[in-house]
Structure 1
């Protein structure tokens, strides 16, 4: 298993990218259209937000899942008992957000969604016929005008030495959605589990875009596109004093979309949020 960055502008980019998704559950893109300056600005702005007390004014709404999630309610990955060492903010265009940051996130959300739609069309184009036959509707129409697609601003705080035993920044897990689109974070740590059970570092060169399959696309494709287990490990040495900010966009279908005979998008999401302990 090897992750190689695909040039977004190459003639065979779509085919190479989808092959990587099928083989590994992950794809890495370089020379993609998301502006690095936009990502940099968000990292700087939101580091200041997480360092402030203002964040507590935007406490999350348990019904709508928008707003600030403090470390005390951080996710516990499926199959684990210890909470992740992180806090985060859920942005939806319709949800709560500090007014001074709303336009910044709205612009990025729109740009990232546009790119995600392109990548989903690549997946559609290069799905084998027997896999496409499993889709209840086209992948692109599953997310059309979806209000469930989520932009998460994630903050992994510096380690202080008093963390719970076995706690890491993000325990091994799979994502819930169709695709996750993630600019390389400002610090390393993301790893993916290979078929042999070992862990590989995901290329984190600043400017790379990391895309991975979520459980919903695995479900809809009958397992052809695997939702690969990944994690964020704790830093060592002097790097323990550094925060880590990341910015995943979780591409979610509309609630009524049929993923399989077992699940709609809504029933699948509800089941997983209960497992994570945030619903």
Structure 2
């Protein structure tokens, strides 16, 4: 099954959306509430920020995990040996944000979080009774008043002539959280690994909204919703000289939320961050 492009305003949107998540770990929404103009403005403004030295004034806090992460300390995907070719900034409403960017990015954070609650409700309402019995509390409630939901602004710079030939923009990985909400990037490259072991391009026209399941939803659903492996490949041709901006919102429950018998949100997150080498 291919990743489905679902009309958010269609009557059967919840069913089609959840079916695609179940089969591929991904779904794409069109005609959704997130405005393209807002996304484009964020892409433009944060690209300019990444091009300045001001970013170094916001170097990440190892304990709080907010702020700027340089390419030198960027993530190494689980099982990978090379760091990803990227830099990024972690936005939390309680964290440090450049003053000139704060109002706009927090407006997006709020809008996307409201949509996220609706999408989690879709997931729960379209889970079988057997699967839903695994949820320790309503999925949408898990993220209400959470301080943990993370908005990451990613900048994948142009591919340098001396870049490690074995490194890519984002090596194959799975997300840690419940769901990830991702406006289509300004450049292609996102791929998902299907059940046959083939890499497929995720539909990425500007204005699309890409949603994928993460490890925490897989854990909470006892494996029913797969946390699917995905990656961002390097561009070719003239695109090697272009930056790529990406804006994933990682939906994280409150720290004390019990995902399963073996894990709370906090215990699961710490386990994965250690694997990634960022703590």
Q: Distance in 1 between matches of 2:148 and 2:163?
A: 33
1:259: which partner in 2? Answer: 259
Instruction: Tell me whether 1:167 sits opposite 2:162 in the alignment.
Output: no
Count of residues in Structure 1 that have an aligned counterpart in Structure 2: 279
TM value normalised by structure 2: 0.99
1:137: which partner in 2? Answer: 137
Deviations 1:66-92 (A, max 9, x none): 000000000000001100000000000
Q: Distance in 1 between matches of 2:37 and 2:269?
A: 33
1:198: which partner in 2? Answer: 198
2:35: which partner in 1? Answer: 35
Q: 1:261: how far off?
A: 1.2
TM value normalised by structure 1: 0.99
Q: Is the 8 A contact 2:4 2:17 kept in 1?
A: no
Give every structure 1 segment of 4 or more consecutive aligned residues whose post-TM-superposition deviation is greater than 3 Å: none
Q: 1:4: how far off?
A: 2.4
1:112: which partner in 2? Answer: 112
1:15: which partner in 2? Answer: 15
Q: 1:159: how far off?
A: 0.6
Q: Distance in 1 between matches of 2:93 and 2:229?
A: 29
Q: Distance in 1 between matches of 2:268 and 2:36?
A: 33
Q: 1:249: how far off?
A: 0.2
Instruction: Tell me whether 1:275 sits opposite 2:270 in the alignment.
Output: no
Deviations 1:138-171 (A, max 9, x none): 1111111000000000000001121123100000
- Secondary structure of 2:113's partner? helix
Where in structure 2 are there 5+ consecutive unaligned residues?
none
Q: Is the 8 A contact 2:181 2:211 kept in 1?
A: yes
Aligned pairs for 1:80-229 (under 5 A) are: 80-229=80-229
Instruction: Tell me whether 1:242 sits opposite 2:279 in the alignment.
Output: no
Q: Distance in 1 between matches of 2:116 and 2:143?
A: 10
Q: Is the 8 A contact 2:154 2:246 kept in 1?
A: yes
Deviations 1:202-255 (A, max 9, x none): 000010000000000000001100000000000001100000000000000001
Q: Distance in 2 between matches of 1:43 and 1:161?
A: 25
